Amino acid sequence: MRFIPTYIALMHTADGTKVLEINSRGGDPEIMNILPVLKNDFMELCLGMLEGNMPELDFENKATVVIYDVPAEYGGMVEKFEGSTDVDLSGAYQMQRKLGKERMRIYPGAMSLLGNKAHSLSSRTVAVVGIGDDIEEARGIWKG
């Protein structure tokens, strides 16, 4: 059995963090916000849950924000897009090297490879996770 926790509803109490819900699906954006600041070993956490022994969760005191790049047609904003669907993430990866993975994560999403080029599909193309001391800093990471 494969179990990937991708959405965890948490409540912080005087007695520590309490897990209210774990929604398991291999999707996004939930796991993108959690994994960069999770101090626990993810595999140990998964094994503990499978064994019925949920370890205490430990997170860095950081904020995370997911920002998506989506196709023009996503969400019905444009009925039919006739432009290029090429995706070039080289600038994003260059920025990530400059800032470090502790401040920025890149998650390619709904893309296809045709030859040597990536092309966006009809859903979320790429997500960037900013990690900062507060929401404003995390949200501003993608600006460099």
Element (H, E) at 95: helix 90-99
- Predicted confidence (pLDDT) per residue in 17-70, tens digit: 888 877 655 556 777 888 899 999 988 988 888 898 877 889 999 999 998 888
Q: Which of 13, 31, 14 is nearest to 22 (CA)?
A: 31
Are the C-beta atoms of residues 34 and 46 closer than 8 Å to each other?
Answer: no
Instruction: Kindly provide the b/e burial profile for residues 58-87, where b requires at least 16 CB atoms within 10 angstroms of the residue's own CB.
Output: eeeebbbbbebbbbeebeeeeeeeeeebeb
- Predicted confidence (pLDDT) per residue in 75-129, tens digit: 777 778 888 888 998 988 999 999 998 999 998 888 888 888 888 888 888 889 9
Structural domains in the chain plus CATH codes:
5-50 (no CATH), 63-143 (3.90.600.10)
DSSP secondary structure, 96-116, as one string: HHHH-TTTEEEEE-SEEEETT
